[in-house]
Amino acid sequence: MATDRENKQRTVYTDALMNDFLDPVFQKAFKLYFTEMNVQVEDWDSLFQKMNDDDNVFAYLRLDEHHEIVGFIQFQKILFSSWFFEETYGFIREFWISEKYRSQGHGSELLKKAEEYFLEQGIYSTILTTDSAEDFYGKQGYVKAPGCKAKNNDDVYVKRLK
């Protein structure tokens, strides 16, 4: 009898890089994510249009061989600047794996894809907030950024990619 890991290895997954958030499959994934987080949205069309209007936002959407949604990671580059220094970071905006696919390596793989994208763009640091996945991000090399505060009051984590 095959183990879950062996079945995962036999399954073919597709990772689509996208920045068209009007795509119905992405919208379905995002709605599933917000439903799970108990976030109510009155105007989905406006939310997705806002995402689409920012041409600096991208996502990897992972589907299985039956086109079932596995999860997604949404990210963008952001510039931190002062009067003397500036650095562009990769910001992980939203990240979700369907409950059915958790603890199978999909989150690590999608995060790695986003980090590789940043490196290809000459971005060597990433930043994110979380209130629920501290252990996961720690295992991926992220460290809590003391002194850095997110407007949503979640903990901030950073990682040097190079």
Question: What are the residue boundaries of the structural domains of the chain, listed by start?
Answer: 4-160
Residue pLDDT, tens place only, 91-122: 999 999 999 999 999 999 999 999 999 999 99
Q: Which residue has the higher pLDDT, 57 or 10?
A: 57
DSSP H helices, the chain, are: 4-10, 24-36, 44-53, 106-120, 134-139
The full length of the chain comes to 162
Q: Taking the CA of residue 120 as centre, how many other CA atoms within 13 Å lie in the half-sphere pointing to its CB?
A: 6
What does R_g of the chain's alpha carbons equal in angstroms?
Answer: 16
User: Would the pLDDT of 57 be above 60?
Assistant: yes
Burial call 65-89: b when 16+ CB within 10 Å, e when fewer: eeeebbbbbbbbbeeeeeeeeeebb
- Residues in Cβ contact with 148 at an 8 Å cutoff, skipping those fewer than 6 apart: 127, 156, 158
User: Would the pLDDT of 7 be above 60?
Assistant: no
- List the CATH code of the domain at 4-160: 3.40.630.30
103: left (phi over 0), alpha (psi -120 to 50) or beta: left
User: Would the pLDDT of 3 be above 70?
Assistant: no
